[in-house]
Structure 1
């Protein structure tokens, strides 16, 4: 008889306990700066409020004015902007700490990665951009990722689809539906021209309005940025209650 998931977990814990001294700490609440809230519907909300507050205190930004976006949509940072910092230690330390925040806040990933490009020789302008990220976090400190047990993340690329087409001889002659690859890159569409022509692949266009990945690759307007954050489920904790999901 197959074991239930709970029995399997308990057996695994017992095996570990046979080798190491373990203590049952109960449900996960806090781990390495990440706060975990569990709802009655098995949703998890991961948040780093305390960690972010500590960063704001370190940067003297605990009472700073909040901003709605991480970067101005027309912003372009370069290595020659501003005066070099005499001591880049603070910049590098904050940038490294913000990389850890990305774990629960993918909405800041692009801005943090841009800042990382200047860690070797940061300037005053780069430091201002870095602190703007902290100002944004100040206004969204209760935000975090919401995960549901039914969530699935599928990353599909042309290469993966093309790999699958190598098995043409195994495809059924009837009832076959060619795989669809969604793309907003004209070059990738051109590469897929032959498989599309022979009907073994379908390429669909992703409109800019629906390209959520843009939040990870470029500055966006306030409205687009907010919409993509919602689609990524980077939401405040109270959203659990609004959705009818009780939490403790």
Structure 2
């Protein structure tokens, strides 16, 4: 029986109350503070001031715990709007906000579909918004938006982590490596790249995400109405 369907142990008198929800919320807090490497049943038990073996009545494996953590974050992703474009935009933006709140979430999405109740509710909202679209196109459309969002947020989180690891923000990194690029551009081997780096507007992450998503949705609109 999957963890979503498996009942919790019966309540019993204990010095510290315990539930699957409390365990998962504690795990999310630990991951938010120090990343997934900080999450273990032993550390969760210590944070809750209970013996580690008590947790196994609620969660069998670390994989189950991660699935529950991912589904807990999916509860924060509730797409809204009228029509497929508004709903897909809402879903993309809500997912990005969730990743910014929970960096570790970016590492656990993008594989096989999540089957927890909150993830299913998010999927239902997206599928319902695409009602009327050719049924054979619904999954490719949803997958394309997911792929864009996951790629974008992973790039943003990678930048955050690089800043922490190097102690340099993006502007400091550019200043450090700028002279190297000037020397490489002076060879004349990269004229198109030089033009873009020198002349194009350097948009922030919010603008870059919004514009890219808009172009993707424009393409989807042209495709499903053609």
TM-score, L = length of structure 1:
0.24
Structure with the greater alpha carbon radius of gyration: 1
Q: Which has the higher helix share?
A: 2
